[in-house]
A = this chain, B = another copy of it.
């Protein structure tokens, strides 16, 4: 097998034995890595196709890898697979200002694509914490989300065209550049978000947007959950397409930040039930900040919002976002943690937060349960520290959180995917009929089961 693979890639394209560094085994600690047969680092779609033809003929399993920033073990080798890393396919192939598209190879780093577009007055909307390592192929294969979904949608909505290599090596080149194309089935959607189990993404055409001319950020303190929902509705109807982010932190998270994250400086006084980070993306720098201030003033008069601050500088804006995103120093003081990425109807979120906090505390007195997230998208993140990191304790907390999600008709994975880590809970969000149909698709596209086996299904 190795001999045959050697004939496809160049010398730097094949790693075996101790040359296989921790990058390929999952340096972030998600999933339990086995030992792969080898690592391949092809430089072109043609090489990917040759590799797959060979593996298909021999029934050899493959794990595709991007930037290895996934959080559910989707790119982790389980043992014996060929790791196929797209890290050397890093060309930005075309930028079309008139059509507002960017054509990239799968290994281009998200941040590189961001910087390339921004220098030309455009924006690739998807943004997330791992932007410095996540690859375009990875964010497409996992349908990544992030902090601007309420305005621009998930990654899926920024993909116009896609090139994919199927299990048998067939190259499906659907590099569409148009917003509208109803010529037959829109095949790309099968591959977006299927975590490399149906085909390998090698190239893509992404939709760009005009870069907003002004970004304004506010922090608001709100006492009751119903008022958070009403405030979101008010912003949606007042700001329309300018509402970029609506991030909510429960009071438990605010307390935790004040106690455990000395480098973070909450801009408002403690004691509110909820803190909201609002960001607007506008095109009138002179008027936009005044608009946001007047909406906040009006919301305070109405009694919806109890307290608010608008960032007056880029530094202040970064400080607001740090409260939402950079609590790692605090998390490390909690001991073993269980973290979740769930979605549910917005109106159920208040009940969800109360319910899981109470259930976890009942099972584990003294536990810490933190709730926060992209509320505008129906997506919450939960961090629970119960003092134990044993499989039994993790399972018990999982069962509590996912049990409430099941009862609310929510999803056990809002944006991180299923990988290996959430496989046991897929059926808590999906019906047997849905899962059977997923299997039908998997069998139709990968009859030998060589693409990322053991993941998702």
> Which residues of A are at the interface with B, using a C-beta cutoff of 8 A?
96-101, 121, 142-143, 145, 149-151, 153-154, 156-157, 166, 170-187, 189-190, 192-194, 198, 209-213, 229, 232-233, 236-242, 281-284, 287, 291, 343-347, 374, 376-379, 409-418, 422, 426, 429-431, 433-438, 440-441, 443-445, 456-457
Note all chain B residues with C-beta closer than 8 A to A166: 437
This protein's copies in its complex: 2
A437 touches B181 (CB 8 A): no
Q: List 30 A-B contacts (CB under 8 A).
A: A98-B232, A145-B180, A153-B179, A166-B437, A172-B431, A173-B431, A174-B430, A174-B434, A177-B409, A178-B345, A179-B378, A180-B377, A180-B414, A182-B413, A183-B411, A184-B434, A184-B456, A186-B189, A186-B193, A187-B438, A209-B236, A237-B283, A240-B241, A240-B281, A240-B282, A240-B283, A241-B241, A241-B281, A441-B444, A443-B444
B445 touches A440 (CB 8 A): yes
- Given A187-B437, A283-B239, A445-B440, verify A149-B233 contact (CB < 8 Å): no
A96 touches B347 (CB 8 A): yes
B433 touches A185 (CB 8 A): no
| Distance (whole angstroms) from the CB of A35 to the closest CB of chain B | 28
In the complex, which residue of chain B has the Cβ closest to the Cβ of A237? B210
| Distance (whole angstroms) from the CB of A445 to the closest CB of chain B | 7
A sample of 17 more A-B contacts (CB under 8 A), given A183-B422, A237-B283, is A96-B347, A98-B345, A99-B345, A99-B346, A99-B378, A145-B182, A153-B179, A171-B433, A172-B433, A173-B431, A178-B344, A180-B415, A185-B438, A185-B441, A186-B189, A189-B189, A189-B190
A97, A189, A241 interface centre (most CB from chain B within 10 Å): A241
Bound complex: CA of A151 vs CA of B152, how far in Å?
Answer: 10
The 4 nearest A-B residue pairs measured at CB: A241-B241, A189-B189, A444-B444, A178-B378
Bound complex: CA of A414 vs CA of B181, how far in Å?
Answer: 4
A154 touches B183 (CB 8 A): no
A184 contact from B177, B185, B345, B418, Cβ within 8 A? B418
In the complex, which residue of chain B has the Cβ closest to the Cβ of A234? B210
A176 contact from B179, B212, B411, Cβ within 8 A? B411
A343 contact from B97, B145, B181, Cβ within 8 A? B181
